[in-house]
Amino acid sequence: MCSFRIGHGIDVHQLVENRKCIIGGVEIPYELGLLGHSDADVLLHAITDAILGAAALGDIGHAFPPDDKSIEGISSGVMLEKSFSRVKSLGYKVSNIDATILAEAPKMKPYLEEMKENIAKICEIEREQVNVKATTTEKLGFIGRKEGIAAEAVCLLVKE
């Protein structure tokens, strides 16, 4: 008998000067970067939250507290890898991930395939099991004003 669990994740980070813009494990050339305790990769944070949520393991803030100085500047790829490892130890595997990046700028299209490959590798799945898309907010709100970037993700876990 198979068991299925679905999780949803969302993350938002402010765009600021003098920070790298890393999304989906890809460093994107841009004059602004994302502010956060880690490398502030909104996409990997949303996926991490979705995976942890699907397994009922809380969220990224509990797994990697922002006041923990020992993990300051940690790669979001490492955070996703550690979270996936916890879920895997419970007997789950990722069936698929679907994610959306919300950003007015920079443009994401040139980097989407590399993002998918990075996520698939960390989660030990095929690239075809990962979907990443990007959209704008038509210049509305903090995203439209280029003050921040957000991402949402859903993940389906399977336990056999």
Q: Binding site: residue ranges?
A: 11-13, 37-38, 45, 59-61, 135-138, 142, 145
Rounded CA-CA distance 75/37 in Å is: 10
Residues 137 and 102: beta-carbon distance below 8 Å: yes
DSSP string, the chain: --EEEEEEEEEEEEEETTS--EETTEE---S-EE-SSS---HHHHHHHHHHHHHTT---HHHHS-TT-GGGTT--HHHHHHHHHHHHHHTTEEEEEEEEEEE-SSS--GGGHHHHHHHHHHHTTS-GGGEEEEEE--TT-HHHHTTSEEEEEEEEEEEE-
Beta bridge partners of 16: 33
Known binding-site positions for a divalent metal cation? 11, 13, 45
